[in-house]
Structure formats: structure tokens, C-alpha cells
Chain A
Amino acid sequence: MANNNSKGTWEVKSGLAQMLKGGVIMDVVTADQAKIAEDAGACSVMALERVPSDIRKDGGVARMSDPTKIVEITEAVTIPVMAKCRIGHFVEAQILESLGVDYIDESEVLTPADENNHVNKNDFKVPFVCGARNLGEALRRIGEGASMIRTKGEAGTGNIVEAVRHARSVLGEIKRIQNMDEVELMACARDLQTPFELVKNVHETGKLPVVNFAAGGIASPADAALMMQIGVEGVFVGSGIFKSSDPQKMANAIVKATTHYNDPKIIAEISKGLGDAMPGLDVRTMPEEEQLSVRGW
């Protein structure tokens, strides 16, 4: 009898992202932080050596985390664990897959390993999430096999402005394509530098073919709710939790705000007495070489 059991299929890879919807994925650097995140209701954690604001401060080359750290975090929690590899660094991705992480983030927060090519994500059984600033970038990543997209935002700044810009760009371009005449789709694919079939899919469905989260600069419950109301399906919070003055409280409040994003009374209630959010940075005064979102294409 034929064996019908199949692993690592598109349905299984994009399906896990669907399970994360309406949830908060939190950056953690220790097993203890991972437990705090899980207790607060995070739907997943991102295992890191340093949060983006520290990576920014320290400078130098940022690489995949030490596998010891990733395994410690994997063993500490029962929710899915994600980890980052450098853009184009398929060996780091192979290592992460062998460690059993549940999702790989091919991330601009780390220093890119290849300025031309991203990882061929179709080669892997483990699913990938990738950052995007606009629809063309999102569809190129999906073309390479990404089964989840997030806005890049500007990680480690505590400033929501870039995440808003990127989400509005992606969602605005989707609306534009949806309203196009079919004859215009090929020219659109040319302009966006993206596979025609994916442009056609967006035209027909009016949405990305994968789950779309926000990331990069979320630092308060109101930030999370803002991104949800703009139209993303969940949020990543990096430095915003463990660089705030009361991480447990902040984590819990952001989880609640992501569920009740359309209910200002509830968001007001949970925003009370959270202490200080992480210190923020003004992206406008930041030189381009310090901006992480321009990494990748």
C-alpha cells in the first residue's frame, strides 16, 4: 500500500504560521525569559543571543546564536521556538533545522552573508519567515519558499514608524493589484520584479498567499493594536518586552492588546501602570548604514 504520509509539505509549513495568527512572538535570550514569555501568553518565542537593540549598540558582525542557547530555550518551553539565520546563510539554516527549531527567520537583524541571494527555502522541511518592506520583496521571498512574511520595520528602535510604513506599503499594493485589469498583471509583475503567478494569486484573492505579521519597533500594547487594525495578522516583539521596565506585565499586556485590538476600552485598561517602555530611537536621524531594514532586497 502506498504511504500517504508526507512531511514538510507547503500545507504543513504555512499551516503552522496560521496557528500563530492573532498572537505575539517574543524575542528571548535566556530560558528564563522564554518561560516568562510563555506564561504571559506568547504564541512562540524567537531564541536569540542578543535582542536587536543590543545588536545595534554592540555593532560588528551579528551571526546565528550559539546552538547551546537555542537548545536550552527549546527545552524550557512547549510553544514553538523560532531562531534567526543570516540572509543567504543556508548553512546556518541547515544547522537550525537539525536542532529542531520550529521556524527559521532569515533576518536582516543579523549581518547578511550574501548580498545577492537569499536562502532557497524550498530546499528545507522547516518553514521560514522573512522580512519585507513592500509587496515585491514579500512575493520574492514567497517565491523562494517563505511560508510567512513580516514587515521589517526598524528593529531595536522601539519606533513603530517603519513597521507602519512597510505594512501600509504591502497592504496598499495588494489593494492596487486587486483592482487591476487582468491585462495589467504582467507589467505589474515586471515592475515589482516578482513571479507573475504570485501577482495573479494576489489579484484573485486580495491577500498574500501566506500569513503576514508586523515586526520592528513594537514597544507598547497600543503599537500592537495599531498594527493589527492596519491589517496584519499578528506581531513580533523584539526588544520591546525585555528592555521595558516590567517585562512580565508588558508581555501580558501586549498579548491581550493583540487579541482585543479593536476594543479601545480594554486596551486603555491593560495599558495602565506598565512602567517605562524601552527607550526609543528616531529613525529619521539615523544614517542609512545603521538601518537594518535596507538589508536584503
Chain B
Amino acid sequence: MLKIGILAVQGDFAEHKLMLTNLDIDAVEIRLPEQLEDIDGLIIPGGESTTIAQLLNIFDIKNSIITKAKSGMPIWGTCAGMIMLANSLTDKRPTPLKLMNTVVSRNAFGRQIDSFEENIEIKAIGHPKYRGIFIRAPMFIQIGEGVEVLGKLNDDNPVLVREKNLLASSFHPELTPDTRIHEYFIKMVKNQISNDNN
């Protein structure tokens, strides 16, 4: 059975876990570096990126995630997770993992009062449009070489991007009943396993 870990140091990891469990995936919470050893993919959930970054420094789980990402393990970051995957931020903190060729700005849509829902067209998952929930959401300020834009807000603002084994979204698919983006990530994990076996 496919086993996907969810980084569970802070944030809405339980929502991702429920989503994966409903899709018949063995979903496990990850708090310590050794727990990364027997999973096929990892989700970095929504939460507070400064808190998550602080907790990644303990027990050096940070470097273990970087090593796994470089060895090809599929990793998906939602909101705070997308901030953590970025190469750099326009903000002073936190220090991201520098895994994707992206520049990200935190809370770029405004404070909570400006948090919103909007339909997004994502070709990779087909019709209908996906109801994106954006909460104090981050924004991609730069998308570098090798990064493919999978979904845009209002046809111009990238909100779902992929670079090889890494996926990042500024919205929260785990807060909706729509499982299509989780299914997309599960496919990424399955493909990686068959690549590793070849």
C-alpha cells in the first residue's frame, strides 16, 4: 500500500490525513527525521510557516527533508508548505528549504479579512473548475526555469505549480471535499515508485 507522510509539527495535517485515508492511502504523521525513511511521498501542510520553520530546526528534520527531496521523493506543499519549498522569500523570515526555483511573498493577498474563495481552472485535473480556498495566502513573485504552472487565478496569477517531483499550491485543497489535487499528487508518487523500480 502506498504510504504518504504528512509533516505534523504544526498546521492542518489532520485534514490532509483524512483526505488521503479516504482515498485508501496509508497516511502517517511525521514529526521526527527517522519517520521519513519508510514513506513514498510527503505533504507539508498549511499552518504558520514561521512556526513550522522553527520546529524543523529541532532534531534536524529540515536537512532530512532536503535530502529526500533531492533523491526524488515527491513533496507537495500547501500554503505554508509552498513557502517552505521556495528558493527565497520577499520576507525576512522564515528561511525556506530552497528546493523549488520560485520566489514567494507571504500573506501577499492581505490579512485574514481579505482571505477568499475563487474558482481556478486547472487543466491537469480537468473540469469543473477547482474551488480554491485562500487563507492569508502566499503569492509566487517569480517562477524560474523548470517550473510548470498548472493553475492560475484570474488567468494571470500562478497558484499551483510543479517542478519535477515537487508540487506547490497557495490554496488549501485539504479544506474542500474535492479530492482531485490529492489524486494528482498520489499519481506523482506512484509514477516515482515505478521510475525507481525501472
Contact = CB atoms under 8 A, between A and B. Distances in A.
A18 B119 CA distance: 21
Contacts of B48: 19-20, 23, 43-44, 79-80
Interface in A50-80: 78-80
Nearest to A42: B51
Interface string B87-116: 000010100000000000011000111111
Residue among B51, B112, B115 with most chain A CB within 10 A:
B112
A48 interface: no
Contact of A22 (B11, B116, B133, B135): B11
A102 B111 contact: yes
B46 A18 contact: yes
A78 B47 CA distance: 13
A4 B115 contact: no
Contacts of A102: 111-113, 136
Contact of B117 (A12, A22, A40, A41): A12
A38 interface: yes
A19 B115 contact: no
A21 interface: yes
B152 interface: no
Contacts of B79: 19
Contacts of A22: 8-11, 13, 47
A259 B115 CA distance: 26
A116 interface: no
Contacts of A126: 112-113
B93 A78 contact: yes
Given A18-B175, A19-B46, A21-B10, A79 B112 contact: no
Contact of A12 (B14, B115, B119): B115
Interface in B174-198: 175-176
B135 A19 contact: yes
5 contacts: A7-B114, A9-B117, A41-B50, A78-B93, A78-B107
